[in-house]
Structure 1
Amino acid sequence: MKKIEIYDPAMCCSTGVCGPVADPELIRISAVIHNLKKKEVTVSRFNLTSEPDAFVSNTEVRQLLAAEGPEVLPVTFVDGKVVKKQGYPSNEELEQWTGITAAELIAKPRIRLEIKTKKQ
């Protein structure tokens, strides 16, 4: 199975729902990552603000930051190779890399509700 690593720019959270305005791209990538993990794809996501050691310990990320600055982020690796810089992967790119259809990647979770009634 594929191993995906995403190195995010500095931000307060990775969900996109904090701050004054929700970021739809962060919401999308968070949901897609959740679905990838449900399909047993190994996905790691690192935030420059809260996990700077991950950026320092990855030689290629460190070199990209030195050469291109923080504008290079986010950077996505698949199986240890850079596959995308300066933006999050699209659903179609993730489908191509993992073999999981874009429809499965954006599937919303199904919640089953049970309504119990009082017996008289």
Structure 2
Amino acid sequence: MKKIELFEPAMCCATGVCGPSVNQDLLRITSAFEALNEDAGIEARRYNLSQNPKIFTQRPEILAEIQINADSALPITEIDGEIVKTGSYPTTAELSDYTGLAFTSTNRG
């Protein structure tokens, strides 16, 4: 089973989609990860620095990336234990490339 992991900066809640103004990237990532876990049979995990600090220190490659690039390294995306992107959330096209699934963006007005 393919595994995608996202190591995110500190946020106020586990998903980051709370508060007065919702970040559209976080909303997209939350929806995509829910779909991956529920429908696609891909293990998709998100780790928030404020909610899951221990996992950051247990993963030498993540810790090294943060030590080298500080906060600009986050978020970090890993596929099957290999860092594939740092510094921003994966795009819809990148999620499709990483998982082999066809993700599409929808704009609801």
TM over 0.5: yes
Residue 72 (structure 1) aligned with residue 73 (structure 2)? yes
TM-score (structure 1 length as normaliser): 0.81
Aligned partner of 2:92 in structure 1 is 91
Shift of 1:16: 3.8
Q: Which has the larger radius of gyration?
A: 1
TM-score (structure 2 length as normaliser): 0.89
Shift of 1:15: 3.2
Gaps of 5+ in 1: 108-120
Gaps of 5+ in 2: none
Q: Is the 8 A contact 1:7 1:73 kept in 2?
A: yes
The 1:16–1:81 alpha-carbon spacing in structure 2 relative to 1, beyond 3 Å, is same
1:31-110 matched pairs, under 5 angstroms: 31-38=31-38, 39-103=40-104
Aligned partner of 2:29 in structure 1 is 29
Shift of 1:42: 0.5
Say how many residue pairs are matched: 105
Identity, in percent, stands at 37
Aligned partner of 1:2 in structure 2 is 2
How many Å separate the matches in 2 of 1:47 and 1:100? 25
1:68-110 superposed Cα distances (whole Å, 9 cap, x missing partner): 101210000001110000011111111111111013xx58xxx
Q: Is the 8 A contact 1:9 1:70 kept in 2?
A: yes
How many Å separate the matches in 1 of 2:92 and 2:51? 26
